């Protein structure tokens, strides 16, 4: 994702129309669903609205390669479903996010509805962009842990690394930062390709 900033004062004037909603800290999915389609990506975490502009081409190239590998080794293997942003994930009534990539395994396919995913996916992947490292590692990481997302990958295109975290007693435990020929020791999905393949054009 690209730069994320809380919208502390509403309404906020956008390029399309005035953005009107409840006070920060009181946003819900219903408020989120009523937002205008103005080209921005919005998320709410613990009732706070965040605005995220569209990601850049480098970010999307990495996302496309990761999705290709995950679809091959998850969907084609009949193990679950893979979604790429934008897809709404309602982690709680006051928390709706659009992860870069989401994996829902077969045992939890009932969490997928026509409009969104309701509940914790089995795996969430966020691809860092300039300005998002803090947001992805603080607000979003905390939201994923609270919701019970079992595994979280943080992908850094600049460093060409992937950090793998798993849920442990309500928080995340890092299993390391992987690069080059390393393969991810994921407990959610089997991805028998070296990390460097995610970044090769």
Asked if residue 146 lies in contact with residue 139, where contact means CB atoms within 8 angstroms, the answer is no
Cα four-point dihedral sign 136, 140, 142, 145: negative
**CA nearest to 81, candidates 53, 48, 106:** 106
Other beta carbons less than 10 A from residue 100's beta carbon: 26
Query: Which range (53-57, 91-95, 187-191) has the least confidence?
Result: 53-57
Assess whether the previous peptide bond of 86 is cis (omega < 30° from 0): yes
**CA nearest to 160, candidates 140, 186, 181, 139:** 181
Alpha-carbon distance values, 90 to 5, 66, 67, 97, 111 (Å): 20, 23, 21, 7, 10
Other beta carbons less than 10 A from residue 163's beta carbon: 19
CA angle 172, 138, 52 (to 5 degrees): 130
**CA nearest to 132, candidates 200, 63, 45, 53:** 53
Mean pLDDT of the chain: 91
Token readout for 74 is 């998850």
pLDDT of residue 39: 79
Domain definitions of the chain by residue range? 5-52, 57-198
* CATH level 3 topology of 57-198: tt1808, chain A (3.90.1570)
Report residue 40 CA to chain centroid gap. 16
Asked if residue 80 lies in contact with residue 109, where contact means CB atoms within 8 angstroms, the answer is yes
Report residue 91 CA to chain centroid gap. 11
Instruction: Round to whole Å and give the CA distance between 142 and 187.
Output: 20
pLDDT one-digit tens code per residue, 80-109: 999 999 999 999 999 999 999 999 999 999
**CA nearest to 126, candidates 152, 147, 144, 89:** 152
pLDDT one-digit tens code per residue, 138-181: 999 999 999 999 999 999 999 999 999 999 999 999 999 999 99
pLDDT of residue 13: 35
């Amino acid at each position: 994702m690209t730069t994320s900033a809380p919208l502390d004062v509403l309404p906020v004037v956008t390029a399309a129309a005035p953005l009107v909603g409840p006070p920060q800290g009181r946003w819900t999915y219903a408020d989120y669903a009523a937002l205008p389609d103005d080209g921005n990506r919005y998320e709410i975490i613990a009732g706070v609205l965040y605005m995220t502009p569209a990601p850049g081409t480098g970010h999307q190239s990495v996302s496309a390669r990761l999705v290709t590998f995950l679809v091959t080794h998850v969907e084609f293997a009949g193990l679950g479903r893979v979604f790429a942003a934008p897809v709404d994930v309602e982690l709680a009534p006051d928390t709706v996010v659009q992860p870069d990539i989401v994996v829902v395994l077969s045992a939890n396919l009932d969490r997928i509805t026509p409009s969104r995913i309701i509940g914790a996916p089995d795996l969430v992947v966020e691809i860092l962009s300039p300005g998002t490292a803090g947001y992805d590692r603080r607000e979003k990481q905390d939201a994923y842990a609270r919701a019970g997302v079992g595994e979280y990958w943080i992908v850094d295109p600049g460093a060409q690394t992937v950090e793998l975290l798993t849920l442990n007693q309500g928080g995340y435990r890092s299993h390391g930062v992987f690069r080059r020929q390393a393969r991810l020791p994921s407990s959610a999905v089997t991805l028998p390709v070296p990390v460097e393949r995610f970044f090769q054009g």
